[in-house]
Amino acid sequence: MSAGRFAPSPSGSLHLGNLRTALAAWLVARESGAEFLLRFEDLTTGAAPAAQAEQLEDLALLGITHDGEASCQSERTELYAHAIHQLEQLGLTYDCYCSRREVREAAAAPHGAAPEGSYPGTCSRLTQAEVRKHERAGRRPALRLHSSGGIQTDDFVLRRADGVAAYNLAVVVDDAAQGIDQVVRGDDLVETTPRQVLLQGLLGYPTPTYLHVPLVLGLDGERLSKRHGAVGLQELRALGFSPQQVLGYLANSLGATPQDSPVTAEGVLNEFSAQNIPTQPWVFDPSELRSG
């Protein structure tokens, strides 16, 4: 069985950009008869029941249904530890004592053929004496992957210094454990894909298909955020818009419906084709929503 997913971080309300990505992922899944799973990526936020409840409610109001119970990354720490252990057994990891600042500075320095901004492997070359010095100073190491100098990716973090699995590792483990074979997400994550594909290969997981949906911008050209005013479903409802109106507007922006009149999610399904999703960022103009 094929499966897609929406994987929000429960760090607050979903804005129109998040909801648009959720709708795109749902349409791609449902159009192909795939399951659609909801996963809260709460490794950095911790349990966030209020935000999760609000996000669930927004998705339900828009008719973006999911199969089974929503899951949380915080329930799956053992799976992450197991995958990290596999990579350790393969001799593909090393401890990294660099602080964030040191990583920033190292990444800014010129270092041969490595991609710009990537970690140049400083701690992969530490002597025993240097390791002992860091330990004496009480530094706790993060764990990095030896990426073998591939040009597509650097030695990224697998486990943070506080012991929590890093985003790329967790996402790859989750997608494999949940049988996700189609990933539809915002194109702010496109640069993480080579890292995730590398991990899938090393861990013996299949690689899903990826579709990255362009971001949503405000009228000022900046990435959509709370600063742009009423950009969440609850806020728009308080202004008198129905969920079906908002959905119509989002569906239209995805090239799924010819005009932005009210629709239901099921209704959009007939019209939708992933090929029609515009490749340019979408600019949210509140006055268009009003005239829809």
Residues at the contact surface with ligand GLU, assessed by CB under 6 A: 7-9, 41, 171, 185-186, 189
Who contacts 16 (Cβ-Cβ below 8 Å, separation ≥6)? 216, 224, 231, 232, 246, 250, 284
Structure tokens at 21: 């990505």
Identify the helix (H) or strand (E) that includes residue 37.
strand 35-40
What's the rounded Cα separation, in Å, for the pair 44 and 80?
14
Residue 84 or 171 with smaller CB distance to ligand GLU:
171
Residue 114 or 213 with smaller CB distance to ligand GLU:
213
What's the rounded Cα separation, in Å, for the pair 42 and 73?
6
The dihedral of CA 107, 112, 114, 116: what is its sign? positive
DSSP state, residue 165: B
What's the rounded Cα separation, in Å, for the pair 39 and 25?
13
Residue 139 or 205 with smaller CB distance to ligand GLU:
205
Residue 21 or 244 with smaller CB distance to ligand GLU:
21
What's the rounded Cα separation, in Å, for the pair 289 and 17?
14
Q: How far is the CB of 185 from ligand GLU (least distance, A)?
A: 4
Residue 171 or 216 with smaller CB distance to ligand GLU:
171
What's the rounded Cα separation, in Å, for the pair 136 and 114?
31
Contact 229, 14 (CB under 8 A): no
Count other Cβ atoms within 10 Å, centred on residue 100.
Answer: 8
Residue 38 or 114 with smaller CB distance to ligand GLU:
38
